[in-house]
Amino acid sequence: MDKNELFSKMRDSILEGNAGEAQRLAELSLKEGIDAGESITGGFSPGIAKVGDLWEEGEYFLPELVAGAEAMKAGMEVLKKALKGDQKGTSSGKIVIGTVSGDIHDIGKSLVGAILSANGFEVFDLGTDVSPEAFVKTAKETQAQVIGMSALLTTTMSAQKNVIELLQKEGIRGKVKVIVGGAPITKEWAQSIGADDAPADAFEAVSSVKRLLGQEVRV
Amino acid sequence: MESPLISLLKRMIVVLDGATGTELIARGLSAGECPEHWNLLHPERVKEVHRKYYGAGSTIVLSNTFGGSRLKLEPYGLQDHVGEINRAGAMILKEVCPVGCFAGGDIGPTGKLLKPTGDFEPEDFQEIFEEQAFALQDGGVDLIAIETMYDLREAAIALRAALKTGLPVFVTLPFIKKKKGFFTMMGDKPDECFRTLKEDGAAAVGTNCSLDHSQMVEFVESLSKASLSGPFIVKPNAGQPRLEGSTTVYDANPDEYVEAVTKMISAGASMVGGCCGTSPLFISKLAHELKRKEITHAKRTQAEDSDASRDTGRINL
């Protein structure tokens, strides 16, 4: 199979949410001696980007997003090991994510993690019902540049503010960017609690984080 | 013979309640605290919220049990208190429910997803919802209201579970607006959702949360006649949330909300209330306006009226 055909199949495996196929194609690409980094940018990434477009258009919904993210993860896991020394370790940045205290909703947060990871960020996912202390501690330990918080209920969303207050108290608010998300979360809310942004979905989260970190955002 | 509740739903505009979360926050609920636990810890404060809604004009008020399922109570370590919390929630509500009004047992989503997108099996959810529904029935509710179900499959399981109590069951779903129209987060289309749920035995269907009042007008106007034949619930959000000091406030104008809800009624909705950010004030203004404009009877099509006269045994009590 020639390279372009392989890349095209990689893209399709993400669109179809076929994790098994994504893994198989990733392994095949390595066997054929194709550069892992090229497979990511030429094969898999266009796939997940297209998933994002289809979500935007209202063609793809949560099930397709999750399946696409799983397929992406399967392909990336194989390729990451083979990334050359200079490609490895140049992650775009580190981000700590979690759903706030008392809240167990995780699908949106996990998607944000998956898509950020697919775009080269190193993601530390703390799961759900995460205390402000845990967010701050992990951010410090990992030296993350970004903290991302999810909340889905009116009764849990103000915990996002608690995390920001703790960052201020610890004197590190200026060292991290804070993004927030969840169904009731808006830009106005983000502003009123002192967060840096409230990206509407996982795909917007990528451009938001890049912008906040001063990286180039491909339009 | 038809129950008073079912007769009411078929013929009249019914005023429902508004948000509970923000009312509890206003009475001291802090971030990270379990709202449903207040049924045991501060029942008098919960009762006050219910009283205010009935006083504002709500005919049906829902119990403080939205997050009262086993899975939702687990982060707080209260998963073994499902029975106690839901029974208490039902009893508190029933205690202040005036004659002629009704007490609804509120059931919200589990917060988790079914396979293959999530990790859970239908049987797991069925068990969780049955546990909650029976506890609410024990506590004395007149009906069950299943809310904010963003996955039709989960909604159908919850409906099936709640119907086992023999009580009338309402189901409302949140929708999102995409370029191609309105969908649930999982991609379900509104008309299909309502058809399925009605076929499965829901006494009333509709939508709550997610959309604000102006978006919800557009939503109701986009529905098919079939969806709007029969009691239809609308509970929009009151605009967007903002933090003011340490309180979460929603910035919608109650008058705009009332105007929008009136339009929804013109478009075919017949059971009206509010979700996030609404309050007894919103409901009181709504009830007042409906009275002033003499909007009392449900607008139904000719065809549906003749169907109703044939179908008195349709709703299983």
Tell me how long chain A is: 219
Residue A54 has pLDDT above 60, yes or no: yes
Q: Are the C-beta atoms of residues B258 and B286 closer than 8 Å to each other?
A: yes
- The one-letter code for the residue type at A197 is D
Under an 8 A CB cutoff, do B186 and A58 touch? no
Out of B24, B76, B187, closest to residue A61 by CB: B187
- The one-letter code for the residue type at A32 is E
Q: Which residues of B touch A188 (CB under 8 A)?
A: 240-242, 251
- Rounded Cα distance between B72 and A182, Å, is 17
Q: Please tell me what DSSP assigns to residue B36.
A: G
Substitution target from B184, B208, B242, B249 for chain A, most A beta carbons within 10 A? B242
Per DSSP bridges, beta strands A146-150 and A93-99 are: parallel
Which residues fall within 8 angstroms of residue A3, CB to CB, at 6 or more apart?
A34, A42
Which residues fall within 8 angstroms of residue A4, CB to CB, at 6 or more apart?
none
- Rounded Cα distance between A157 and A154, Å, is 6
Under an 8 A CB cutoff, do B241 and A107 touch? no
Q: Are the C-beta atoms of residues B24 and B42 closer than 8 Å to each other?
A: no
- Rounded Cα distance between A63 and A111, Å, is 11
Out of B24, B112, B117, closest to residue A62 by CB: B117
- pLDDT band at B70; cut points 50, 70, 90: very high
Q: Residue A167 in 3-state DSSP? A: helix
Q: Which residues of A touch B210 (CB under 8 A)?
A: 183
Q: Is A41 on the interface with B (CB under 8 A)?
A: no
- Rounded Cα distance between B49 and A13, Å, is 52
pLDDT given for residue A83 in this prediction: 78
The model's pLDDT over B82-139, given as tens digits with 9 standing for 90+, comes to: 999 999 999 999 999 999 999 999 999 999 999 988 999 999 999 999 999 999 999 9
Under an 8 A CB cutoff, do B241 and A105 touch? no
- pLDDT band at B250; cut points 50, 70, 90: confident
Mean pLDDT calculated for residue range B250-278:
94
Identify the residue with better confidence: B223 or B2: B223
Under an 8 A CB cutoff, do B248 and A157 touch? yes
Q: Which two tokens stand for residue B248?
A: 């979460």
Q: Residue B239 in 3-state DSSP? A: coil
Q: Please tell me what DSSP assigns to residue A110.
A: H
- What is the residue-averaged pLDDT of chain A? 92
Residue A152 has pLDDT above 80, yes or no: yes
Q: Residue B164 in 3-state DSSP? A: coil
Touching A: B residues 229-268, CB under 8 Å: 240-244, 246, 248, 251
Touching A: B residues 270-289, CB under 8 Å: 276-277
Residue B301 has pLDDT above 60, yes or no: no
Q: Residue B284: phi, psi to the nearest 5?
A: -65, -40
Under an 8 A CB cutoff, do A184 and B242 touch? no
Identify the residue with better confidence: B302 or A15: A15
Give one DSSP letter per residue of B184-219, joined into a string.
Answer: -TT---HHHHHHHHHHTT-SEEEEEEEEEHHHHHHH
pLDDT given for residue A87 in this prediction: 59
- pLDDT band at B312; cut points 50, 70, 90: very low
Under an 8 A CB cutoff, do B243 and A192 touch? yes
Under an 8 A CB cutoff, do B118 and A162 touch? no
- Rounded Cα distance between A25 and A44, Å, is 10
Q: Which of B211, B207, B213, B257 is nearest to B227 (CA)?
A: B207
Q: Residue A11 in 3-state DSSP? A: helix
Residue B308 has pLDDT above 80, yes or no: no
CA-nearest residue to B119 within chain A is A107
Q: Which residues of B touch A185 (CB under 8 A)?
A: 241
- What is the residue-averaged pLDDT of chain B? 92
- pLDDT band at A56; cut points 50, 70, 90: confident
Substitution target from A57, A62, A104, A154 for chain B, most B beta carbons within 10 A? A154
pLDDT given for residue A84 in this prediction: 64
Q: Which two tokens stand for residue B170?
A: 């309402």
Q: Residue B182: phi, psi to the nearest 5?
A: -100, 140
Q: Which two tokens stand for residue B150?
A: 């963003």
Q: Are the C-beta atoms of residues A101 and A135 closer than 8 Å to each other?
A: no
- Rounded Cα distance between B187 and B173, Å, is 12
Beta bridge partners of B177: B182
Residue B1 has pLDDT above 90, yes or no: no
- Rounded Cα distance between A132 and A147, Å, is 11
Torsion of CA B260, B263, B264, B266, to 10 degrees: 170
Mean pLDDT calculated for residue range B178-197:
95
Which residues fall within 8 angstroms of residue B185, CB to CB, at 6 or more apart?
A61, A62, B150, B151, B174, B176
Angle, in degrees to the nearest 10, between helices A202-212 and A107-118: 60
pLDDT given for residue A85 in this prediction: 58
The H-or-E segment that residue A123 falls in is strand A121-125
Outline where chain B has alpha helix (H): 4-11, 21-26, 38-41, 43-56, 70-73, 82-96, 122-138, 152-163, 190-199, 213-222, 225-228, 254-266, 280-292, 302-310
Distance of CA B4 to the CA centre of its chain: 19
